[in-house]
Amino acid sequence: MQRKQTPKKPLADARGAVISKQLLSRGHEGAVFCSSAILRRYNGAVPSAPAPFWIGLIQMACSKDPEENLANATALIRAAAERGAQIICVQELFRSQYFCREESAELFHLAEPVPGPTSESFTRLAKELGVVLVGSIFERRLAGVYHNTAIVIDADGTLLGLYRKMHIPDDPLYFEKYYFTPGDLGFRCFDTRYARVSALVCWDQWYPEGARMAALAGAEVLFYPTAIGWHPAEKATHGAAQHDAWRTIQRSHAIANAIYVAAVNRVGYEGPPEQGLE
């Protein structure tokens, strides 16, 4: 006698909604699944049908005047929006030259709170243009606590949230540990008008876990505001290999996680001839 099988009930989340299964990654022999309900609990809603979107990356030379740099970035954001960009990202610490080439207490005056001048300027601009902005700020969180922070602003001018840089370098002419406390917010995703995005910062791009966690949380594109360059004395010997490694690590995030990666660096030479970066 054949045993009658009882139909299995579909899984449901706490609200009684049926949990659908979403394919996250494919292997050579099989597939790895994770429920979209789990992802929603982890980091917000997971979009079911992503629509195409245009991104703009603002890459510019910076002066020592924060107001001049903000004005230049604003003009370039407007130009990108006119050309159809819907999500626009500026480079790391765009309101100044890369000041971490030296350790100086006087440079902490460049920091600002969030909300503050840069975030408020960007929220107005995003609302006016109807674009999403990914900004970069030297954040003064409170007395003695500073972060290298990315902000994400939706197209209606809403400040969706912050990401505080987790991986902090301490190398010659990259003395970031003197200025920045490691981030405490984790790797985050933000649902914007045009796409679900994740913003990480520069040195994070050399490590796999941030990109992986953002991808598992449903990010459609990773943004890396960046400030990286050559020591001019090393460029002839190591420059080609360093540049290839930098490009390779960006591509590896995109390939491994099947998402877009957008990294935008600064341009030009900054600093005195003997202690500068190109």
pLDDT tens digits, one per residue of 122-133 = 999 999 999 999
The mean predicted confidence, pLDDT, of the chain is: 86
The pLDDT of residue 135 is above 50: yes
Q: Helix, strand, coil shares of the chain as percentages rounded to 5?
A: 30, 25, 40
- Among 204, 191, 207, which residue's Cα sits nearest to residue 256? 207
Predicted TM-score (pTM) of this structure: 0.81
Q: 230-276: per-residue pLDDT in tens?
A: 888 888 899 899 999 999 999 999 999 999 999 999 999 988 887 88
Written as six digits, the tokens of 160 are 């969706």
What's the pLDDT score for residue 148? 98
Q: Hey, which residues are catalytic here?
A: 92, 165, 202
Domains and CATH numbers, the chain: 20-49 (no CATH), 50-264 (3.60.110.10)
What's the pLDDT score for residue 32? 36
Could you give the percent of the chain with pLDDT greater than 90? 73
What's the pLDDT score for residue 274? 78
Cα-Cα-Cα-Cα torsion 72, 73, 77, 79, nearest 10 degrees, comes to: 20
- State how far the Cα of 150 lies from the Cα of 138, in Å rounded to an integer: 9
Top pLDDT among 152 and 17 is at 152
Determine contact, residues 162/149, Cβ cutoff 8 Å: yes
What's the pLDDT score for residue 229? 86
What's the pLDDT score for residue 231? 85
Written as six digits, the tokens of 84 are 């159809």
Determine contact, residues 148/93, Cβ cutoff 8 Å: yes
What's the pLDDT score for residue 239? 86
Q: 157-187: per-residue pLDDT in tens?
A: 999 999 999 999 998 989 999 999 999 999 9
